[in-house]
Amino acid sequence: MYAFDHLVHLVRDPKKAMQTARKCGIHAVEGGSHPDWGTANTLCYFDLSYIEYLGVENPAVAEKAKGNSLVRQALEDLSHGEGPARIALRTDDLAEAARLLEKQGWKTSGPFPGSRTRPDGTLLRWSLLFPEGPDDELPPPFLIRWEQSDEERREDLSRRSAIAPHPAGNLRLKHVAVAVRDLGRAAKWEKGFDLNPKREYVDKILNAVCRELQLSGGNLLFCAPIGEGPVARILGSRGERPFLVSLSGAERDEDWSIFGGIYRFSRES
């Protein structure tokens, strides 16, 4: 029912983030403005899965749009610092998604219409649904339904050169890692969004026990610290949030730090 759609990475200057991503070998493009929300973005595509560098362009408008929980989170999180912030899942049926979530005790708000004006002046449209979990430290994924089909979007984005080769290699989104205090969080998302567990293991580099959930377009990796290390530091500075983007198909193994997030390139296919 769901596919990985995108990771929202909050930044103060989306164009600067785009330039930094390009220096790291990631193909990045201008997105545009969200006139009703006071925000703007730049984008990095890995087929239809993408990273959105989102910033507040017009604070006065954004303050009036705080009924949108993503805008509210952007204002709150950016007051503390930049970094990966929230995951969006794609679905074709927001009404059915809301029904299933509410049946399990989740609350939902929306759907809300969304739009973005592209640099060429064309308007892109979608709808958003915001689930609300019992514990809001880690914002749950929000759900998006695009007006175009996947095939239409892929063709359109390729024609606009938004989907294009990356200088660093044939990059694909492997997973997005999320720092959590315990793996019970993974179980809640697993049940709420009908995700299948892939494996659970100890990551010695992160010094964390990790549980991977399968998702078309990019898996989700929940990481709980077992001592001092990157995950423990993220929890101390930003709380429960996404923190690492793992990309496969790179020409060489390396890590990049991009505005509060870790981007891990690996040569594996």
Same domain, 22 and 72: yes
Can you give the CATH number for the domain in which 188 is found? 3.10.180.10
Residue 123 pLDDT level (bands cut at 50, 70, 90): confident
Least confident of 137-141, 177-181, 249-253: 137-141
Tell me what the mean pLDDT of segment 114-132 comes to: 85
**In the chain, which ranges are continuous DSSP H helix?**
14-23, 59-64, 69-78, 94-103, 150-159, 184-192, 230-238
Tell me what the mean pLDDT of segment 85-95 comes to: 96
Q: Residue 202: what pLDDT?
A: 97
Same domain, 25 and 152: yes
Q: Please indicate, yes or no, if residue 221 is contained in any of the structural domains.
A: yes
Least confident of 30-34, 120-124, 145-149, 209-213: 120-124
Q: Locate 73 and state its tokens.
A: 């989170």
Q: Locate 236 and state its tokens.
A: 């101390």
Q: Residue 256: what pLDDT?
A: 95
Our CA dihedral for 122, 141, 49, 221, rounded to 10 degrees, sits at: 160
Q: Residue 120: what pLDDT?
A: 80
* DSSP E strand stretches across 133-218: 142-146, 169-179, 196-203, 208-214
Same domain, 173 and 149: no
Q: Residue 164: what pLDDT?
A: 98
What's the domain count of the chain?
A: 2
Q: What residues make up the domain containing 215?
A: 169-265
DSSP state of 216: B
Same domain, 20 and 137: yes
Q: Residue 136: what pLDDT?
A: 64
Residue that is last in its domain, among 159, 179, 211: 159
Q: Please indicate, yes or no, if residue 83 is contained in any of the structural domains.
A: yes
Q: Please indicate, yes or no, if residue 164 is contained in any of the structural domains.
A: no
Phi–psi pair at 117, nearest 5 degrees? -90, 120
Same domain, 129 and 250: no
Residue that is last in its domain, among 159, 194, 228: 159
Q: Please indicate, yes or no, if residue 15 is contained in any of the structural domains.
A: yes
pLDDT of 138 strictly over 70: yes
Same domain, 82 and 142: yes
Same domain, 99 and 219: no
Same domain, 115 and 95: yes
Tell me what the mean pLDDT of segment 199-226 comes to: 96
Same domain, 29 and 150: yes
Same domain, 27 and 146: yes
pLDDT (tens digit per residue) in 231-265? 999 999 999 999 999 999 999 999 999 999 999 99
Residue that is last in its domain, among 95, 130, 159: 159
Tell me what the mean pLDDT of segment 115-144 comes to: 84
Residue 134 pLDDT level (bands cut at 50, 70, 90): low
pLDDT of 117 strictly over 90: no
Same domain, 188 and 139: no
Q: Locate 71 and state its tokens.
A: 């805008």
pLDDT of 269 strictly over 80: no
Q: Please indicate, yes or no, if residue 147 is contained in any of the structural domains.
A: yes
Q: Residue 251: what pLDDT?
A: 96
Least confident of 104-113, 118-127, 212-221, 260-269: 118-127
Instruction: Kindly calculate the radius of gyration of the chain based on its CA atoms and give it in whole angstroms.
Output: 17
- Burial of 179 by CB count in 10 Å (0-12 exposed, 13-18 middle, 19+ buried)? buried
Same domain, 174 and 80: no
